[in-house]
Structure 1
Amino acid sequence: MRVFILAGEPSGDRLGGALMEGLRTLRPEAVFEGIGGPAMEAQGLRSRFPMSELSIMGLVEVLPKYFHLKRRIEETARAVLEMRPDVLITIDSPDFSLRVARRVKAASDIRTVHYVAPSVWAWRPGRADKMAKVIDHVLALLPFEPPYMERAGMECDFVGHPVVGEPQATLAEIAEFRAASGLGGAPLLLVLPGSRRGEVERLAPIFGAALKMFFHDNKDMRVVVPVVPHVADLVADHVAHWPGAPVLVDARGLQAELAASRKRAAFAAAELALAASGTVSLELAAAGTPMVIAYKLNWLTQKMAERLVKVDTVTLVNLVSETRVVPECLGPGCTPEAIAACLSDVRRAPHAQDQAMALTMERLGRGGEPPGLRAARAVLRRLRA
């Protein structure tokens, strides 16, 4: 079995790694080519170029890199056509993925699968109809998404979210992490300013200012900041001026299992978290860590989003649990004052989010077959049909 698979950012890389593992379980002879990061490379992929080149978000960020991205799209489409795989699997990053799929479909009958349904329930519902012209089958992470895709003419399977199958920290791991980081028994505030450079540059100064306000009445806490390698130096520069004697959880120089252990221990040990909007809210819910979500776009992208967004929350825990218990500081509301106030509120009522986080994990498939294996079964079942 020949598979061309591509992802454009860390969350997609984790999905791709789990899916590749599932496909190898069911079809050990599977051969992979494509683009991915550490999780996919751990399953045997040799990425055609660094995935970080595609980890760009927002109109303002994309424009300066437009011609380079266009060349990468053409290069990737040619590679797919040369391989002639049984299936092309694109993972999230629709601005890149779907342009590749469009070129492949225009020149061949190669089957196309897209992993992560576009959030048409939130904004730009017409995307599903456009996507149906180049995608045969969608793997959905959220249980309410298949009807939207099927109405547009695509096959769609809810396969659960990989976060529900990821291991959680043991007490021994938490103790080791605290000892190795010199944290003692201090209560921890986990801070996650994003995995893209643009996000970090926008959010880190706001987060830092918010922490200075929050720490005025919470001097007992320590700050822990997990970072992905390609923004580690940038994050380190920002957090050097934050209160709470920040500890970076940096995977560079560590063996993969130790790095993963330190990260999950940081999530589990934290009393509360401040995080950029995104999939990380589900990782926090899996660890049972109450959170505040904050995000700020560039001015132009923000104005466009205000006209297009159809939902009153962007946090997946709120959406999946059908609650609004996770506080959000978004757009013009992403201010140090608002963030500090929300952090104080969450610390005063630390269990207010417990039920919503547990329900989210249940609805996303916790306790069932691993989502990566479910996704692999769905790909193979539809491919045979």
Structure 2
Amino acid sequence: MSLKVFVLAGEPSGDRLGGALMQGLKTLQPKVQFDGIGGTQMAAQGLQSRFAMEELSVMGLAEVLPKYRHLKRRIRETAEAILAWRPDVLITIDSPDFSLRVASLVKAASDIRTVHYVAPSVWAWRPKRAVKMAKSIDQVLALLPFEPPLMQAAGMDCDFVGHPVVAEPQASQAEIAALRSRFNLGDSPLVLALPGSRRSEVTRLAPIFGESLQAFQHLYPNHRVVVPCAAPVAALVQEAAADWPADTLFLDPNAHDPAEFAGLKRAAFAASDLALAASGTVSLELAAAATPMVIAYRFQWLTWQIMKRMALIDTVTLVNLVSDTRVVPECLGPDCRPGTIARCLRELAEAPELQKAAMAVTMQRLGQGGEAPGLRAARAVLDRL
């Protein structure tokens, strides 16, 4: 008997999770049928998306408002398609504003089992989201090991399935050597700089990062700065680099095919002695490459005030949270200034080994060395059907 799975992703990170999950389901249950919405990774596993996933990749109030009526119609159409097809399970992946509204409509009209992949960060802020979510979600697939008890307390089944970062390939010594040779880096120590992937982040952070790196390089003149740019902001980063060290190497994804750039980025991460990065999941990519880091981020004033009052944790860096340490320095809000960042970089350059153990623990706790997260997620779904 065939298993029917409706799977829904709304952005590239969800598409990657969905593709790996679908591959896992096909491995464990060859007679599986898929319907739903996704991108290229899910299409590679046999999904014919009902509409372009990019319609759902909308962020921010100003961007959502003009498309509100269209998105609302897509929510209704998707729920109606699920109810008509009657799958054994509906799996929604991240994108909660869209996914959970669809799940709510489906649950209100049926007993179809609902699974949500990626737990909301209730450990950081707005803990009541889990209780609200439990009204329409039966099971959660969690990326972080401390999330299941929080979801279970709200009334949902929850399985830790591992973080996708543990399955990402790491650079070989040959790739590192090729990077150094191609860009004439010699044996210089390298500083990786990652000022974000959104225009608003780069606009705020690039000048601060530049001044910080200039001050650091004044003390450590042998260090070269390497910047693997995010495609949407590659030109902006280079335009904003007036105050960056003169010999900074910018790696532009728009100048390489995707596979080649992925290799260059892997090599840059692995070859670097330390990193200065915007806050976000990039801290886990750095940990996977065993690259010690300083995290820095400047928020809008109002955002910072709200965060200070609503935050339930004293760190925003996942390496600190997962390893239960505070070894990764954070320069956030008013502390995101060149003098403070340069001092943290200097201290890190003098004692990088302090972070190595925490990064290794983080990777182990996220599932490194175990079953691939996509297969583990598939097994968790099937075990509870």
TM-score, normalising length from structure 2? Answer: 0.89
* Alignment partners' CA distance in 2, 1:345 and 1:11: 34
Secondary structure of the equivalent of 1:283?
A: helix
Shift of the 93–345 alpha-carbon distance from structure 1 to 2, 3 Å rule, reads farther
Stretch of structure 1 that moved more, 315-324 or 106-115: 106-115
2:38 pairs with 1:35: yes
- 1:204 partner amino acid: A
Secondary structure of the equivalent of 2:207?
A: helix
* Alignment partners' CA distance in 2, 1:94 and 1:225: 32
Partner of 2:175: 173
- 1:130 partner amino acid: K
Question: For the Cα contact (< 8 Å) 1:92–1:115, is it kept in 2?
Answer: yes
Partner of 1:215: 217
* Alignment partners' CA distance in 2, 1:286 and 1:238: 29
Question: For the Cα contact (< 8 Å) 2:140–2:158, is it kept in 1?
Answer: yes
Question: For the Cα contact (< 8 Å) 1:221–1:244, is it kept in 2?
Answer: no
Shift of the 9–203 alpha-carbon distance from structure 1 to 2, 3 Å rule, reads farther
Instruction: Quote the offset at 1:20 in angstroms.
Output: 2.8
Output one character per residue of 1:78-117: Cα deviation in whole Å (capped at 9) or x when no partner: 1343253443322223333323333343444443221111
Partner of 2:73: 74
Question: For the Cα contact (< 8 Å) 2:166–2:366, is it kept in 1?
Answer: yes
Larger Rg: 2
Secondary structure of the equivalent of 1:72?
A: helix
Instruction: Quote the offset at 1:319 in angstroms.
Output: 0.8
Shift of the 260–87 alpha-carbon distance from structure 1 to 2, 3 Å rule, reads farther
Partner of 2:234: 232
Over aligned residues, Cα RMSD in angstroms?
A: 2.5
Q: Which runs of 5+ in 2 are unaligned?
A: none
Secondary structure of the equivalent of 1:252?
A: helix
Secondary structure of the equivalent of 1:139?
A: strand
Instruction: Quote the offset at 1:149 in angstroms.
Output: 0.5
Instruction: Quote the offset at 1:287 in angstroms.
Output: 0.7
Q: Which of 267, 271, 275 is the aligned partner of 2:273?
A: 271
Question: For the Cα contact (< 8 Å) 2:9–2:53, is it kept in 1?
Answer: no
How many matched pairs? 378
Question: For the Cα contact (< 8 Å) 1:80–1:88, is it kept in 2?
Answer: no
Q: Which runs of 5+ in 1 are unaligned?
A: none
Q: Which of 126, 129, 136 is the aligned partner of 1:127?
A: 129
* Alignment partners' CA distance in 2, 1:114 and 1:67: 27
* Alignment partners' CA distance in 2, 1:225 and 1:46: 36
Question: For the Cα contact (< 8 Å) 1:191–1:225, is it kept in 2?
Answer: yes
* Alignment partners' CA distance in 2, 1:168 and 1:216: 31
Instruction: Quote the offset at 1:335 in angstroms.
Output: 1.8
Question: For the Cα contact (< 8 Å) 1:4–1:33, is it kept in 2?
Answer: yes
Question: For the Cα contact (< 8 Å) 1:9–1:93, is it kept in 2?
Answer: yes
2:202 pairs with 1:189: no
Instruction: Quote the offset at 1:256 in angstroms.
Output: 4.0
Secondary structure of the equivalent of 1:142?
A: coil
Partner of 2:282: 280
Partner of 1:246: 248
Superposition pairs of residues 86-105 of structure 1, within 5 angstroms: 86-105=88-107
* Alignment partners' CA distance in 1, 2:179 and 2:192: 14
* Alignment partners' CA distance in 2, 1:279 and 1:136: 26
- Identity of counterpart residues, as a percentage? 61
- 1:33 partner amino acid: G
- 2:305 partner amino acid: K
Question: For the Cα contact (< 8 Å) 1:73–1:99, is it kept in 2?
Answer: no
* Alignment partners' CA distance in 1, 2:43 and 2:194: 24
Secondary structure of the equivalent of 1:75?
A: helix
* Alignment partners' CA distance in 1, 2:108 and 2:66: 21
Partner of 2:52: 49
Stretch of structure 1 that moved more, 307-316 or 223-232: 223-232
Superposition pairs of residues 143-182 of structure 1, within 5 angstroms: 143-182=145-184
2:20 pairs with 1:18: yes
Shift of the 212–135 alpha-carbon distance from structure 1 to 2, 3 Å rule, reads same
Secondary structure of the equivalent of 2:384?
A: helix
Question: For the Cα contact (< 8 Å) 1:52–1:230, is it kept in 2?
Answer: no
TM-score, normalising length from structure 1? Answer: 0.89
Instruction: Quote the offset at 1:374 in angstroms.
Output: 0.2
Q: Which of 356, 381, 384 is the aligned partner of 2:383?
A: 381
Instruction: Quote the offset at 1:135 in angstroms.
Output: 1.4
